[in-house]
């Protein structure tokens, strides 16, 4: 199950953001990762940081995170 989820994340990185609540917006420019508690200044940065928990850092840096797919 975990392997198939990781494969889905590799194909479409935005899947983790509409299926799971992995970050908290604390302020206008303060986003906190719910996995490790680190804080980033933009939504894009926290999304890439979260992806780095699942994927190699090289892939997470290049992923298109602002494209949010909607489930059917």
| Digit-coded pLDDT (tens) for 13-22 | 777 777 778 8
The per-residue DSSP string of 15-71 comes to HHHHHS--EEEEETTEEEETTT--EESSHHHHHHHHHHHHS-HHHHHH---S-PPPP
In a 3-state reduction of DSSP, which class is residue 10? helix
| Digit-coded pLDDT (tens) for 15-67 | 777 777 889 999 999 999 998 999 999 988 998 888 888 777 766 677 766 65
Residue 9 belongs to a domain: yes
pLDDT at residue 72 in the model: 45
pLDDT at residue 37 in the model: 94
Residue 68 belongs to a domain: no
Residue 72 belongs to a domain: no
User: How many separate domains does the chain show?
Assistant: 1
Q: Which of 47, 1, 3 is nearest to 22 (CA)?
A: 47
Compute the distance between CA of residue 4 and CA of residue 50 in angstroms, rounded to an integer: 18
Residues facing residue 31 across a β-bridge: 25, 40
Record the tokens describing residue 66, joined without a space: 């602002």
Host domain of residue 47: 2-62
Residue 50 belongs to a domain: yes
């Amino acid at each position: 199950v975990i392997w198939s989820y990781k494969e889905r994340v590799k194909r479409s990185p935005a899947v983790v953001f509409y299926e799971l609540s992995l970050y908290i917006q604390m302020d206008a420019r303060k986003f906190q990762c719910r996995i490790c508690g680190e804080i980033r200044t933009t939504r894009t940065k926290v999304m890439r940081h979260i992806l780095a928990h699942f994927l190699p850092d090289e892939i997470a840096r290049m992923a298109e995170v602002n494209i949010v797919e909607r489930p059917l």
